[in-house]
Chain A
Amino acid sequence: MMKKILVLMIFCSLFITTKSYAQQESYMSLQYSVSFGTGDLGDYISAASWRGALLEYRSAVKGKLMVGVDLGWNVFYEKKDYDTYSVGTESLSGIQYRYQNAVPILVAADYLILSSESLVKPYVGLGIGTIYNERSTDMGMYRWKENPWQFALKGELGLLYELSYRSSVKFAAKYYNGFKSNSLDGQSYFSLNLGMAWVL
């Protein structure tokens, strides 16, 4: 399925851009995302998330600084082995199906380390905003659900590789850190992202 997404992204990149990437006033990027839960999320679901996508918009504001917004979606899932869970005098046994959707919505800023005219453009980035988490634990015919919004920060290291004057490949490693909310501890995860960027 993800192969189809990548093929589709590359295909579309050939047709939907109209300006030179070198102008780099603003760009839109779509990335496939693989994520790994850390902290409380990693304890809850230890399996990697192979279902994820990220949409980014960036606009040059001054020199090597670009600002914009990130909208992501990462789906974590794990089927746990049959086990017994006890609280006080109560015990419950069964197979748990654990799901967590993380939707980061962030204002972001990237700083290009090299010249914006170079073919390879490494950058560092920061983001601030919120992550909407939807955690569902299914056991038998029952579902326990929590869906808090958490204040979040993001750190990022990545690079843009100019494929043509119209489009680039973008690779990024990101770390999202959500902060504790009433119903859930802070949710954090690390993600690797690969996708395309198109000059608008």
Chain B
Amino acid sequence: MKKKFIFYLSIIVLMGSCYPNGADYYEELDIVYTDYDDEFDFASLGTYSIPDQIVKITGELLEGEDPEFVKEPQNSQMLAKIESNMTALGWTKTEDPAEADLVLFPAVWTNTTIYYWYDYWCWYYPYYCGWGWGYPSVSSYTTGTFVMTLVVDGDNYIDPARVWTGAVNGLLSGSYNVTRVNNAIDQAFKQSPYLKTN
């Protein structure tokens, strides 16, 4: 009986050990999200403006406090990639946002998630539960998000209105990878053909 039990148990263990894994590389976790206002007529417009610095959103901004910005050269590289995509879609950049048909706001933020793995052993031995004995053995990862928002205002709008959002999310690897970021920005515009203007 004991032999049978060990046999069946070993099968279950073997099955579990060959359970499929997921992503192997950071870039395999990159995703690109876009959304737009389908009643907005992009084709009838032609100019846009964009700040020359990308904002880092780190929390609630106190009154009078200046925001943080993405450092160079990453800032310029990302802005250049956005502008080349907008130009390819027929848009002309203007310096004054008051004169532009649309304003593109670029922003980034990061988020770190921590797993407390000792929480998962309460079922095994309640004495170990909640003491924090495993506290030093935490693992964490940091995700980065880059968002581009096209905003319209004017006489037809009570408040500025968001008409397009492009968001890039991925796992940060610790070093800036220009290829990953450029590919993701390109993809955001590629999957937004409705942005094309005349």
Task: Name A residues whose Cβ lies closer than 8 Å to a Cβ of B.
Answer: 1-2, 4-5, 8-9, 12, 15-16, 30, 51, 53, 55, 73, 75, 77, 84, 86, 89-95, 97, 99, 138-142
- Contact yes or no, B34 A91, CB < 8 A: yes
- Chain A facing B: main interface SS: strand
Binding site for A on B (CB under 8 A): 3-4, 7-8, 10-12, 14-15, 17-20, 22-23, 28-38, 143, 169-171, 187, 191-192
| Residue of chain B at shortest CB distance from A101 | B19
- Residue ID in chain A nearest B24 by CB atoms: A79
Residues on the A chain within 8 Å of B187, using CB: 93
8 Å CB contact of A12 from B3, B28, B37: B3
Bound CA–CA A51/B33 (angstroms): 33
Are B37 and A91 in contact, CB atoms less than 8 angstroms apart? no
Distance between A41 CB and nearest chain B CB, rounded to angstroms:
16
In the complex, which of the residues B8, B19, B170 contacts A55, with contact meaning CB atoms closer than 8 Å? B8
Expressed in whole angstroms, the minimum distance between the Cβ of A98 and any Cβ of chain B is 10
Contact between chains at B32 and A92 (CB < 8 Å): yes
Verify B18–A92 contact, CB threshold 8 A. Answer: no
Residue of A whose beta carbon sits closest to that of B7: A12
Nearest neighbor of A13 in chain B, beta-carbon distance: B7
Instruction: State in angstroms the CA–CA spacing of A15 and B1 once bound together.
Output: 11
A90 and B33 contacting across the interface, CB-CB below 8 Å: yes
* Chain A neighbourhood of B10, CB < 8 A: 8
Closest to A94 in B: B31
List 8 tightest A-B contacts by C-beta distance, closest first.
A140-B31, A94-B31, A77-B20, A93-B32, A1-B18, A12-B7, A97-B22, A90-B35
- Extra A-B contacts (20), CB below 8 Å, given A15-B3, A75-B20, A138-B22: A1-B17, A5-B14, A9-B7, A12-B4, A12-B7, A30-B7, A51-B19, A77-B20, A86-B191, A89-B37, A89-B38, A93-B33, A93-B187, A94-B29, A94-B30, A95-B29, A140-B31, A140-B169, A141-B29, A141-B143
Which residues in B have their C-beta under 8 angstroms from that of A77? Answer: 20
